[in-house]
Structure 1
Amino acid sequence: MMIRARRIAAMLSTAAVLGAGALAPAGAETVTLTILGVGDTYNFAEEDGRGGFARLNAVAKAEREANPNTLYVFDGDMLSPSLLSGFDKGQNTIDLTNLVPFDIAVPGNHEFDFGPENFIEKMKASKYPWAAINITNADGSPIEGLGGVMVKEVGGLKVALIPVAQDTSPEVSSTGDLKFLPTVETAVAAARQARDEGADLVVGVVQTDMSNDRELIRSHAFDVIMSGDDHSYATAYDGVTAYVETSIDGQFLSPIDLIVEIGEDGDGKRTIDWVPNFRFIDTAMVEPDPESQKLVDEFQSKLDESLGVEIGATETMLDSRRNVIRAEESAMGNLIADALRDATGADVAITNGGGIRGDTTYDPGTVLTRRDILTELPFGNVTVVTELPGSQILAALENGVSEVENGAGRFPHVSGMSYAFDPSAPAGSRVSEVMVGAAPLDPDAVYSVATNDYMLGGGDGYSAFGGGKVIVNAGNGNLMANDVIDYIANAGGVTVDVEGRIKNLGAN
């Protein structure tokens, strides 16, 4: 039986208020402040009856109706990657969140997958404010339209929202010449300043990994931290700072009710004391918001029409599972690299496993559709070509396997060449047996290399791709996914298999 989020929120908020009131000392004013955070919301539709924007919007509406003292915050990553974002560069997420606007939104690294110009365009189309205190233009000047610390008066409380983005964004996304200041250092300094300036409560809205989250918690500069990036759900409270890691695609949500007592000390100075009440909402139990669902259905209809086109069957098993595509040769990686080389006529092709996102397998005989390829390649990357000496190609391969033990997305899939690597060797000295065609890689010879615009720009640590003569730039290249689709269609299907292009010398 479906349960309305409104009913859940109302019952739990009421219980929290009654409980707090029973404990409040005489003369103290008790205020319940609800904070609902969400991040990493890529897919507009539900998955297996859970998540999606229609359910998320239903919860946000219910929380605001149950308690007018509610803050709804977004902690990064929505414009990409998804099937539809490959067509509209994330506009669908803006349209859906505009129906139930955030109080504040922090850009995640995926907000820049289509470049900073697209983010600025989408920011302007938003009916809510975007903010990040650690992103500036290259010269250090503010980015027009991107705010900083936000102080809101809520229920008689002065609440400082500290919006902080991920400082590794330039390494993993297409941020152009934007400058990112250190996440933790910048966040803690701003939180302490806000406290010094009289904030009753300091709330971090951050898009960063759990290692940084732990540093932020240990600083005790924040009352609450709402964090995205890790795609997991977690709550914690160490007696000073309450913390929520906000799940993925709005599947699991945890509003926090802060039961705040506003009082005075013996000298008549204002005092603030609070305790957190964490709530858990499984959105499989939430009835979708009708207005949002109507828009979701419209998006789905458009997507189905364009993506259902069949392009060819595979004769071999294609494997794009995360643990495979980021660690070893796979037929899917070979297929994509072959398509880039075929489309460009380059000597070799190199593409990163982290850009391949389907996380699935396709059995022999499976008829592939445009949807399958765009699911695998959702970032909207463009095929580019550069000329590089063999020494830089070797450096690129070394970078690609430098963090294979951590499952890093930089793992390189290749075409027109082969290589071996030893994961037990020191990073930077792992690659050997590099062949281009039937000949050993010549460090002094110049080769044409097909790759994607993200890697050419130094993404995933591929600085070795810089400095070469660019033959096809991002402005002139084809959408990478379209090159793969055309390659399969022209070949009448997929025959590529695991062929020994990549050899792991440390494998048993």
Structure 2
Amino acid sequence: MVRLLHYSDIENLFDDAERAGRFAGRLRERDGEDALVVGSGDTTAPGVVSMAASGRQILDFADAVDTVADTFGNHDFDYGPDATRAIVADSEFTWVSANTRDEDGDPFGAEEGVVPWTIAEADGERVGFFGVTDPTTDSINPHAAPLTFTDPYEAAAEAVTELREEGVDYVVALSHLGGGDDELARRVDVDAILGGHVHSVRTEYVDDTLCTRPGVNGHEFVEVELGTDDAAAARGDGGVAASARVIDPSEGPVHEALTDALERRRESAGLTETVATVDEPLARTDETTFGGESRIGNFVADAYRAAADADVGLQNGGGIREGPPLSGEVTLADLVSVLPFEEPVVVVELSGRELLEVFSEADGAELDFGEPHWWHAHLSGASLRWDHEAGELLDARVDGEAIDPDRRYTLATAEYLLHSDHEFPTIEQRHRAGEVGIQHDVLADHARRGGLNVDVEGRIVFES
């Protein structure tokens, strides 16, 4: 039997040095001769420490936990392909990717050490790992636009064939496909799929293949057993019984060396200025991010609209990163942690008809990196009534007035939405009319003007 210790989407874990130290300490505690530590993407970014270190804090972490292999998530290209190549070149562990191509169409990072698959040994048994990344990454991350992501299922099938020919005992996918993991389980002969991208925890079987996800920001990791004697475990296409359990790292011993390294990196960010004081904390949880109107969502959307003097402010739910509430003295680092991207706020011009289309795209049911119940729009200057059961827009207003289909409206939002074909696809580059500054700077300016004193006002109303 081999155990796999699986982490993914650890993103802003590094912004809390002690919690990151406990996460690493718990992983080390669970490690052993029969175990291998692996990641499945979005392990370098985003976050405050990540921005200060250009993602290189993953090297501190991987050294601390003795990572064996990882693959690329969409955020692992947040600082551009060259920064990712530099991280790969300096990594002691192996980056695996079977479907990422560089600017010339060749396998990405091959010179720096990226391979389609690798083999690691634990307790005398050989485990083959291959990596696949969401093929839409070049559209959901503008910094990855020069790259190409080929069909992950064809790439996976080729990698599996080669690994089986190598005579490994187990074949495991390190996947950043999100909702595509189910299709992967149906199409390839693997013993387990260790996934990410979607931020909910998962330990399920699809066609008798174990599929796992550890959630986001290092609140859990997953321990997988391959070749287990557990009678309840399913047997995948490879004929191997596999089971999993979720591990809470919060009570783990602190890995002091990692904690110290991360504290030094955070200090180097130089973002300690207090910009505002908050009496009533602004929560930023899964519920406030994707559950509809929230104070944190209203603050961000208000900041955009005020900076651009636009008719409407719009923030996509996934852009707001979960973390500790904004409370007491709020620093620049706190606001960077809300939107840890070097990305401008842009102004777009839309007809009333197009604006109604944008509002109709706020439901999250169609996104393969989301959950069916997610809501994706935080708004300023506008109000919506939405029928959750029917999944349709009932009414939309701007400044209290019905939207005129023939009028031109200005909307301030994150530049990301001009590149994405998946969230609010009606907004395109052709609508761009200007920009007003980097997101977290816009938030800081609005906070200084009292913008954190915000309430839930009925901007978004759900009916059924």
TM-score (norm 2): 0.78
Report if the CA contact (8 A) 1:316-1:496 is conserved: no
Alpha-carbon deviations, 1:159-188, whole Å to 9, x = none?
432212234545654432433334445424
Query: Map of 1:482-501 to 2, 5 A cutoff?
Result: 482-489=441-448, 491-492=449-450, 494-501=452-459
- Please name the residue that 2:20 is paired with: 52
- Please name the residue that 2:93 is paired with: 128
Structure 2 residue corresponding to 1:150, chosen from 109, 112, 118 = 118
Label 1:498 to 1:273 Cα distance change in 2 as closer, same or farther (>3 A).
closer
- Please name the residue that 2:430 is paired with: 468
CA distance in 1, matches of 2:405, 2:140: 28
- Please name the residue that 1:295 is paired with: 261
Report if the CA contact (8 A) 1:311-1:493 is conserved: no
- Please name the residue that 1:204 is paired with: 173
Report if the CA contact (8 A) 2:282-2:295 is conserved: yes
2:332 partner amino acid: R
Query: Map of 1:6-405 to 2, 5 A cutoff?
Result: 33-44=2-13, 52-53=20-21, 55-56=23-24, 59-60=27-28, 63=31, 66-67=32-33, 71-98=36-63, 102-137=67-102, 140-145=105-110, 146-151=114-119, 159-170=127-138, 172-174=140-142, 175-184=144-153, 186-196=155-165, 198-209=167-178, 212-217=180-185, 221-231=189-199, 244-246=212-214, 248=216, 249=218, 251-254=220-223, 256=225, 282-284=248-250, 286-299=252-265, 301-302=267-268, 306-307=271-272, 309-314=273-278, 318=282, 320-358=284-322, 366-401=328-363, 403=365
Label 1:390 to 1:155 Cα distance change in 2 as closer, same or farther (>3 A).
same
1:291 partner amino acid: A
CA distance in 2, matches of 1:254, 1:321: 25
CA distance in 2, matches of 1:61, 1:320: 30
CA distance in 1, matches of 2:74, 2:12: 16
Structure 2 residue corresponding to 1:442, chosen from 391, 398, 404 = 404
Query: Map of 1:408-447 to 2, 5 A cutoff?
Result: 408=374, 411-427=376-392, 430=393, 432-435=395-398, 437=399, 439-447=401-409
What CA RMSD, in Å, does the superposition of the two structures yield over aligned residues?
4.1
Please state whether the residue corresponding to 2:362 is helix, strand or coil: helix
Label 1:349 to 1:59 Cα distance change in 2 as closer, same or farther (>3 A).
closer
Q: Which has the higher strand share?
A: 2
Deviates more, 1:393-402 or 1:116-125: 116-125
CA distance in 1, matches of 2:248, 2:377: 38
Residue 452 of structure 1 and its aligned partner are, at CA, apart by 0.6
- Please name the residue that 1:265 is paired with: none
CA distance in 1, matches of 2:96, 2:348: 36
CA distance in 1, matches of 2:403, 2:92: 54
Residue 426 of structure 1 and its aligned partner are, at CA, apart by 4.8
CA distance in 1, matches of 2:176, 2:395: 38
Deviates more, 1:251-260 or 1:321-330: 251-260
Report if the CA contact (8 A) 1:53-1:250 is conserved: no
CA distance in 2, matches of 1:201, 1:330: 45
Report if the CA contact (8 A) 2:3-2:226 is conserved: yes
CA distance in 2, matches of 1:361, 1:170: 31
Report if the CA contact (8 A) 2:351-2:406 is conserved: yes
2:147 partner amino acid: L
Deviates more, 1:343-352 or 1:217-226: 217-226
CA distance in 2, matches of 1:441, 1:46: 42
Deviates more, 1:388-397 or 1:144-153: 144-153
Alpha-carbon deviations, 1:383-406, whole Å to 9, x = none?
122333333222221112364993
1:298 partner amino acid: R
Percent identical across equivalent pairs? 25
Label 1:140 to 1:88 Cα distance change in 2 as closer, same or farther (>3 A).
same
Report if the CA contact (8 A) 2:131-2:174 is conserved: yes
CA distance in 2, matches of 1:356, 1:306: 19
Please state whether the residue corresponding to 2:11 is helix, strand or coil: coil
CA distance in 1, matches of 2:460, 2:303: 18
CA distance in 2, matches of 1:408, 1:111: 24
Residue 106 of structure 1 and its aligned partner are, at CA, apart by 0.3
Please state whether the residue corresponding to 2:416 is helix, strand or coil: helix
Alpha-carbon deviations, 1:126-159, whole Å to 9, x = none?
3333221122247743223342122457777664
2:149 partner amino acid: F
1:337 partner amino acid: A
CA distance in 2, matches of 1:419, 1:235: 36
Unaligned 5+ residue runs, structure 1? Answer: 1-31, 261-271
1:313 partner amino acid: T
Please state whether the residue corresponding to 1:378 is helix, strand or coil: coil
Residue 484 of structure 1 and its aligned partner are, at CA, apart by 1.0
- Please name the residue that 1:451 is paired with: 413
Unaligned 5+ residue runs, structure 2? Answer: 230-237
Label 1:324 to 1:460 Cα distance change in 2 as closer, same or farther (>3 A).
farther
Residue 120 of structure 1 and its aligned partner are, at CA, apart by 3.7
Please state whether the residue corresponding to 1:450 is helix, strand or coil: strand
Please state whether the residue corresponding to 2:109 is helix, strand or coil: coil
Deviates more, 1:292-301 or 1:52-61: 52-61
Label 1:234 to 1:458 Cα distance change in 2 as closer, same or farther (>3 A).
closer
Please state whether the residue corresponding to 1:465 is helix, strand or coil: coil
TM-score (norm 1): 0.72
Label 1:177 to 1:47 Cα distance change in 2 as closer, same or farther (>3 A).
closer
1:202 partner amino acid: V
Deviates more, 1:480-489 or 1:128-137: 128-137
Residue 485 of structure 1 and its aligned partner are, at CA, apart by 0.9
Deviates more, 1:178-187 or 1:350-359: 178-187
CA distance in 2, matches of 1:351, 1:238: 34
- Please name the residue that 1:21 is paired with: none
CA distance in 2, matches of 1:431, 1:342: 27
Alpha-carbon deviations, 1:39-58, whole Å to 9, x = none?
22224559797x52564267
Please state whether the residue corresponding to 1:486 is helix, strand or coil: helix
2:314 partner amino acid: I
CA distance in 2, matches of 1:58, 1:325: 28
Please state whether the residue corresponding to 2:383 is helix, strand or coil: strand
Alpha-carbon deviations, 1:84-133, whole Å to 9, x = none?
22443423223332455533210122223445454344334433332211
